């Protein structure tokens, strides 16, 4: 159950009176893990079990031996229900005593790989990664070690998918998972601003109301609240319904300035300047007219039904000095806010990052091209800007060379699919990551790529259509994300334990713990 | 300020059922008839649209073409009967270079004239062979840039074709020699002759019409000049004849009205150029040079011979010719461009790169690698729903019905739409880079990142030790 608290004691000195007086009680959300099954009648599974009802003699052997609950005879029914294939662990069950296929005395059961796997997912988000993410969002736990879901890497044949973790034969230090700290600091400057620490090395990416539904947005921020991290409003304005979660919100100031008001800037602990986004670097944002419904247009203070562009770039920023003026503006409006600067990954992303640091930003957020929910030209996603996996070490090493690395937080986003990608990002030099698509997959996204069209997402996630939005509840969405966060934190701690690390910050820049298959020596291969 | 270049596009639907990527292939028995799939789950209403379309067809080619792959019907079927998979017809499209995805997006652009847009981020491979091993740059906050895409400033995609002398010489107030002929195109593209490997479709009338409508130029084999007998003269400035210098039979009055001509590479190019210039002194003459291992030396030699334009032509997949281990056109252009720079004569010649240009990003990347403009042929044919089944030669029935009567508005219109979409995408890429002029993009490799270089520069120090 939600609890209520007001944390305004230390805000009196820094918030304007009208903002303080209009502040609403802040909601706490429980971090409790609860099973949260898929919303649909038929969950997609890696395997399918067929039951031949003509051969089945209803002996019940299958339901007795299956610990996963695949075979169900509902009370009052004469026949078994269609096997719950998504619970089946597949052919690895063959090694156990619970393999229903061989144990069925009448040979009525048949196990096959689901032919739909070819149609689910893509090179980056393979069907295995999608299904594994769904499992984690359902159970709140990582998959068993002997799982046959390959979710450490995708099939893109480059970047994270060619990088492997190099575990020591034996951890240099034995640590308990309970003692491992995966929190990160978002303010590394000693500038008198709040020292914000988040409990997990990630926060939720900016998704505007318009690009996703308000149910999706609220689910994200509630999960962030439960895990003492952040979610981001995106560029579509600041919903009133965010206000009970102000302390876990980042609000975005982007080129379109949709719904940006001093009042909303004052509500939050972090303000993010979005100079560019990885999915459409250098192109600005674009909300198609069909998704600009009445409620979206009101929040953005725009006209319903017309396409909305966030032009690129900021017309007031053509240099780092201009950027500094931007930051000073926010610091003046909201003196307690940390500043995040979100940029894409051009050739000189390292120069941009250092410039932004000297301008006074607390967080440098580099956004690669694999993420994004809204409409983006295919040509941009595929071809423009540097892949994130190159940008992270490039920025990290340059910040180190400029003696700035210890005073700024480096966050990577746009392509983080799992806790393995988080580990690789941090080992390459980031402090933490921003996640977006992974959250949407946890909510049931199949990555059909139709976020932008017509009524929007048929999965009720990236839509503004009232009927479609209503197919998902905030409670269900919140729980799925809380579960995913829990699974990821477990997974991270397991990896850190193998590295013998007590803190995730020890991992930052430890490229010696990574192997790139293209550079692998024969000795490493062994 | 010159008038903005704009290609007028209009929606031109396909003549045949689309070959979609996904399909519901398994309607098992035991359907409850609840209609959840058609009435509730499919928000696109594709089931009903599909039925309507199929009912109006003379023959059913396929029933899998409009599914969006969202799995909603599969997951909400009351009895779990539906199965979604990748359409096997889709997988058979094209070849190892001209992938089904290239064909699909070309068809879409030819139909709508719009920039393909999708959600959910990039879903392809990290990198690939050919043009997929480079990325274009974007300008961030530290560089001045502009927002021409959204209308405030104009991004020019115009390029010049012809010889540009490095300097002028004067005798007093008079120039010693006249300026070379120079023509401008509003987009760095010319339409090449249809591929000889695809003999079935008679595309020239559509290509010529599309060249006129887009203000571009189409290369036409001089043997086919008779196609023009009934043509309006307005087309002539948008046609360039590929001439066999020894035996071309084009009337001089026609040749005089064209702006560009092409001759094959030979040891007698200067003599042949002189013959053509004698007929039409203002014409620009291009030399068609097959892309082989000799092309670096040949292009230097031609440039030194004052050739105005070199048209480098790789095979249809962009590969070097006459070798078992071909290099890709992008790498060869870089070498040829670099060699001309080294010899300080790059600006004097125009380079057209042809072969393997299948997408607008290929156009931008070829220019970045050193071409002034590109030539295309297969995309124009694909725009008319060609599947690259390669059955043209055997005389089989063309599955895209390209051997049937094709309406000029459909044929030329689809090509125009494709160019309209390419133009906007080039503008998008240039806008992201902060470039206002396609002329300045040529050879600006600083605006690109190459896979091998990134691997070595960034990962080398990390992973090589």
Considering only CB atoms, which chain B residues are within 8 Å of A320? 141-142
Cβ atoms within 10 Å, residue B235: 18
Which residues have C-beta within 8 Å of that of residue A385, sequence separation ≥ 6? A278, A281, A282, A344, A345, A346, A368, A369, B135, B136, B137, B138, B432
Considering only CB atoms, which chain B residues are within 8 Å of A453? 119
Name B264's bridge partners: B288
Average pLDDT over residues B161-167: 88
Q: Are strands A197-198 and A338-343 parallel, antiparallel or unpaired?
A: unpaired
Among A106-115, A439-448, B425-434, the least confident range: B425-434
> Are A452 and B119 inside 8 Å of each other by CB?
yes
Across the interface, which of B80, B145, B428 has its CB nearest the CB of A377? Answer: B428
Q: Is the pLDDT of residue A269 over 90?
A: yes
Which pLDDT belongs to residue B108?
96
Q: Tens of pLDDT along A33-63? A: 999 998 888 899 999 999 998 999 999 999 9
Q: Tens of pLDDT along A491-523? A: 999 999 999 999 999 999 999 999 999 998 765
Which pLDDT belongs to residue A400?
98
Cα B241 to Cα B252: distance, rounded to the nearest angstrom: 12
Closest listed residue to residue A493, CA positions, set A187, A199, A161: A199
CA B406 to centroid of chain Cα atoms:
22
Domains contained in chain A, CATH given: 47-113 (3.30.70.20), 175-518 (3.20.20.70)
Across the interface, which of B84, B120, B141 has its CB nearest the CB of A451? Answer: B120
CA dihedral A346, A350, A353, A354 (to 10 degrees): -150
The superfamily (CATH) of domain B148-455 is Aldolase class I (3.20.20.70)
Q: Is the pLDDT of residue A14 over 70?
A: no
Across the interface, which of B72, B76, B463 has its CB nearest the CB of A516? Answer: B463
**Where do the DSSP E strands lie in A215-370?**
231-232, 249-254, 270-274, 285-287, 308-310, 338-343, 363-367
With both helix axes pointing from N to C terminus, report the angle between B408-433 and B100-112 in degrees, rounded to the nearest 10: 110
Cα A191 to Cα A335: distance, rounded to the nearest angstrom: 11
Average pLDDT over residues B252-274: 94
Q: Tens of pLDDT along B7-64? A: 999 999 999 888 888 877 655 567 777 777 776 778 777 666 666 655 665 544 445 5
Which residues have C-beta within 8 Å of that of residue B58, sequence separation ≥ 6? none
Which pLDDT belongs to residue B25?
60
Q: Are strands B84-86 and B22-24 parallel, antiparallel or unpaired?
A: antiparallel
DSSP state of B320: P
Residues recorded for chain A: 526
Name A244's bridge partners: none
Closest listed residue to residue B90, CA positions, set B67, B70, B113: B67
Q: Are B114 and B421 in contact (CB under 8 A)?
A: yes
| Full DSSP string of A18-81 | HHHHHPPPEEE----------SSSS---SEEEEE-TTT-----HHHHH-TT------TT-SSPP
CA atoms lying within 13 Å on the CB side of residue A132: 25
Cβ atoms within 10 Å, residue B9: 22
3-state secondary structure of B218: strand
Q: Are A370 and A415 in contact (CB under 8 A)?
A: yes
Q: Chain-wide mean pLDDT for chain B?
A: 88
Cα B402 to Cα B427: distance, rounded to the nearest angstrom: 32
Per-range mean pLDDT, top range of A32-36, A322-326, A445-449 = A32-36
Which pLDDT belongs to residue B83?
86
Average pLDDT over residues A253-277: 89
Average pLDDT over residues A348-368: 95
3-state secondary structure of B216: coil
**Where do the DSSP E strands lie in B291-327?**
309-313
> Are A312 and B75 inside 8 Å of each other by CB?
no
Which pLDDT belongs to residue B219?
96
Average pLDDT over residues B280-291: 97
Residue of B nearest to A428 (CA): B462
Closest listed residue to residue B24, CA positions, set A450, A46, A116, A448: A116
Which pLDDT belongs to residue A7?
46
Considering only CB atoms, which chain A residues are within 8 Å of B433? 282
**Where do the DSSP E strands lie in A163-221?**
163-165, 184-185, 197-198, 202-204
Bond into A351 cis (ω within 30): no
Average pLDDT over residues A68-97: 91
- What region, left, alpha or beta, does residue A161 occupy, with left being phi > 0 and alpha being psi -120 to 50 degrees? alpha
Q: Tens of pLDDT along B79-118? A: 888 888 898 889 999 999 999 999 999 999 999 999 998 8
Which pLDDT belongs to residue A312?
77
Across the interface, which of B75, B140, B361 has its CB nearest the CB of A276? Answer: B140
DSSP state of A514: E
Average pLDDT over residues A176-199: 95
Domain ranges of chain B: 20-92, 148-455
Closest listed residue to residue B159, CA positions, set B315, B351, B393: B351
Considering only CB atoms, which chain B residues are within 8 Å of A458? 41-44, 68, 70, 72
Average pLDDT over residues B282-298: 97
Top residue of B24, B119, B361, B426 to mutate, by most chain A CBs within 10 Å, is: B119
Which pLDDT belongs to residue A106?
94
Residue of A nearest to B454 (CA): A390
3-state secondary structure of B264: strand
Q: Which two tokens stand for residue A310?
A: 């966030």
Among B115-124, B142-151, B216-225, B453-462, the least confident range: B142-151
| Full DSSP string of A361-418 | -SEEEEE-TT--SS-EEHHHHHHBS--HHHHHHHHHHHHHHTT-GGGSEEEEESS--S
Top residue of B78, B138, B453 to mutate, by most chain A CBs within 10 Å, is: B138
Q: Which two tokens stand for residue A51?
A: 């039951």
Instruction: Provide the percentage of residues in chain A whose pLDDT is more than 70.
Output: 95
Which pLDDT belongs to residue B46?
67
Closest listed residue to residue A436, CA positions, set A251, A259, A247, A202: A202
Average pLDDT over residues A391-408: 97
Which residues have C-beta within 8 Å of that of residue A291, sequence separation ≥ 6? A210, A211, A452, A456, A463, A464
Which pLDDT belongs to residue A6?
37
Instruction: Provide the percentage of residues in chain B whose pLDDT is more than 90.
Output: 61
Distance from CA of B149 to the nearest CA of A (A): 8
Residue A283: band (very low, low, confident or very high) from pLDDT cuts 50, 70, 90: confident
Instruction: Provide the percentage of residues in chain B whose pLDDT is more than 70.
Output: 89
> Are B68 and A445 inside 8 Å of each other by CB?
no
Which pLDDT belongs to residue B42?
81
Residue B309: band (very low, low, confident or very high) from pLDDT cuts 50, 70, 90: very high
Distance from CA of B334 to the nearest CA of A (A): 19
Rg (chain B; Cα; Å):
25
Bond into A313 cis (ω within 30): yes
> Are A343 and B141 inside 8 Å of each other by CB?
yes
Cα A337 to Cα A267: distance, rounded to the nearest angstrom: 9
ipTM of the prediction: 0.91
Helix, strand, coil share of chain B (percent; to 5): 35, 15, 50
Q: Is the pLDDT of residue A2 over 70?
A: no
Residue given tokens 């503006």 in the structure block: A329
């Amino acid at each position: 159950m939600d609890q209520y608290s007001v944390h305004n004691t230390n805000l009196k000195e820094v918030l304007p009176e009208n903002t303080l007086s209009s502040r609403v009680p802040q909601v706490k959300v429980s971090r409790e893990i609860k099973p949260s099954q898929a919303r649909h009648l038929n969950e997609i599974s890696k395997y399918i079990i067929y039951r031949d009802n003509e051969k089945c003699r209803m002996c019940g052997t299958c339901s007795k031996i299956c610990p996963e609950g695949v075979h169900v005879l509902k009370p009052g029914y004469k026949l078994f229900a269609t096997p719950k294939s998504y619970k089946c662990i597949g052919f690895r069950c063959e090694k156990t005593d619970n393999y229903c296929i061989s144990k069925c005395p009448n040979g009525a059961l048949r196990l096959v790989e689901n032919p739909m796997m070819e149609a689910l997912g893509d090179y980056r988000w393979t069907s295995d990664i999608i299904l594994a993410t769904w499992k984690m969002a359902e159970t709140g736990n990582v998959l068993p070690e002997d799982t046959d879901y390959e979710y450490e890497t995708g099939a893109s044949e480059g970047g994270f998918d060619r990088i492997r973790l190099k575990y020591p034969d034996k951890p240099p230090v034995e640590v308990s998972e309970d003692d491992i700290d995966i929190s990160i600091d978002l303010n590394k400057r000693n500038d008198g601003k709040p020292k914000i620490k988040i409990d997990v090395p990630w926060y939720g990416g900016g998704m505007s109301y318009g690009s996703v539904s308000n149910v999706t947005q609220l689910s994200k921020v509630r999960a962030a609240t439960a895990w003492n991290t952040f979610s981001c409003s995106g560029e579509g304005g600041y919903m009133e319904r965010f206000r009970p979660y102000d302390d876990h919100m980042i609000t975005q100031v982007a080129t379109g300035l949709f719904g940006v008001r001093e009042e909303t800037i004052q509500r939050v602990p972090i303000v993010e300047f979005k100079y560019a986004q990885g999915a459409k670097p250098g192109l600005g944002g674009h909300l198609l007219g069909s998704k600009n419904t009445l409620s979206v247009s009101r929040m953005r203070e725009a006209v319903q039904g017309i396409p909305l562009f966030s032009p690129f770039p900021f017309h007031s920023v053509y240099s780092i000095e201009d950027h500094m003026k931007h930051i000073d503006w926010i610091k003046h409006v909201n003196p307690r806010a940390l500043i995040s600067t979100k940029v894409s990954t051009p050739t000189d992303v390292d120069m941009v990052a250092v410039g932004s640091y000297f301008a006074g930003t607390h967080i440098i957020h580099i956004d690669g091209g694999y993420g994004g929910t809204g409409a983006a030209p295919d040509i941009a996603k595929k071809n423009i800007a540097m892949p994130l996996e190159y940008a992270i070490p490039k920025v990290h090493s340059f910040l180190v060379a400029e003696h700035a690395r210890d005073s700024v937080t480096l966050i990577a986003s746009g392509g983080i699919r799992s806790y393995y990608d988080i580990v690789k990002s941090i080992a390459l030099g980031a402090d933490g990551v921003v996640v977006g698509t992974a959250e949407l997959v946890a909510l049931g996204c199949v990555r059909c790529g139709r976020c932008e069209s017509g009524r929007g997402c048929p999965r009720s996630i990236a839509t503004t259509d009232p009927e479609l939005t209503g197919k998902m509840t905030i409670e269900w969405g919140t729980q799925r994300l809380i579960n995913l966060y829990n699974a990821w934190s477990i997974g991270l701690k397991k990896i850190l334990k193998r590295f013998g690390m007590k803190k995730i910050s020890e991992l930052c820049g430890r490229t010696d713990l990574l192997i790139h298959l293209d550079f692998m020596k024969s000795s490493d291969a062994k | 300020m010159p008038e903005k270049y704009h290609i007028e596009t209009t929606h031109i639907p396909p003549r045949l059922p689309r070959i979609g990527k996904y399909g519901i292939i398994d309607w098992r028995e035991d359907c409850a008839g609840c209609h959840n799939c058609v009435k509730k789950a499919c928000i696109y209403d594709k089931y009903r649209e599909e039925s309507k379309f199929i009912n109006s067809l003379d023959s059913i080619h396929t029933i899998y073409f409009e599914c969006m792959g969202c799995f909603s019907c599969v997951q909400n079927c009351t009895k779990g009967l539906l199965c979604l998979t990748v359409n096997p017809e889709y997988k058979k499209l094209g070849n190892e270079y001209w992938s089904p995805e290239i064909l699909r997006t070309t068809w879409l652009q030819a139909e709508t004239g719009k920039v393909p847009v999708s959600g959910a981020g990039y879903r392809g491979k990290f990198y690939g062979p050919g043009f997929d091993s480079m990325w274009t740059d974007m300008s961030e906050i530290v560089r001045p840039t502009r927002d021409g895409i959204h209308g405030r400033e104009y991004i020019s995609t115009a390029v010049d074709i012809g010889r540009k002398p490095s300097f002028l010489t004067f005798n007093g107030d008079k120039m010693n020699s006249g300026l070379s002929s120079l023509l401008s195109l509003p987009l760095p593209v010319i339409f090449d002759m249809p591929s000889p490997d695809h003999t079935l479709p008679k595309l020239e009338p559509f290509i010529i019409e599309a060249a006129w409508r887009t203000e571009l130029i189409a290369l036409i084999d001089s043997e086919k000049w008779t196609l023009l007998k009934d043509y309006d003269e307005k087309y002539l400035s948008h046609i360039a004849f590929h001439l066999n210098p020894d035996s071309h039979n084009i009337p001089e009055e026609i040749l005089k009205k064209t702006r560009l001509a092409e001759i094959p590479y030979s040891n007698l190019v200067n003599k042949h150029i002189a013959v053509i210039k004698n007929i039409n002194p203002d014409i620009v003459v291009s030399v068609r040079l097959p892309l082989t291992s000799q092309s670096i030396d040949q292009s230097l030699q031609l440039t030194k011979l004052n050739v105005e334009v070199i048209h480098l032509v790789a095979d249809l997949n962009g590969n070097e010719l006459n070798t078992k281990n071909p290099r890709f056109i992008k790498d060869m252009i870089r070498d040829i461009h670099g060699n001309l720079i080294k010899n300080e004569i790059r600006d004097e010649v125009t380079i057209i790169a042809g072969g393997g240009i299948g997408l607008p990003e290929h156009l931008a990347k070829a220019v970045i690698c050193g071409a002034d403009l590109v030539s295309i042929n297969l995309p124009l044919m694909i725009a008319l729903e060609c599947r690259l089944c390669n059955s043209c030669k055997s005389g089989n029935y063309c599955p895209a019905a390209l051997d049937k009567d094709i309406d000029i508005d459909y044929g030329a219109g689809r090509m125009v739409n494709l160019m309209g979409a390419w133009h906007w995408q080039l503008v998008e890429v240039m806008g992201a880079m902060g470039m206002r002029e396609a002329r300045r993009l040529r050879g600006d490799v600083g605006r690109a990142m190459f896979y091998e270089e990134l691997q070595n520069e960034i990962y080398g120090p990390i992973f090589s030790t």
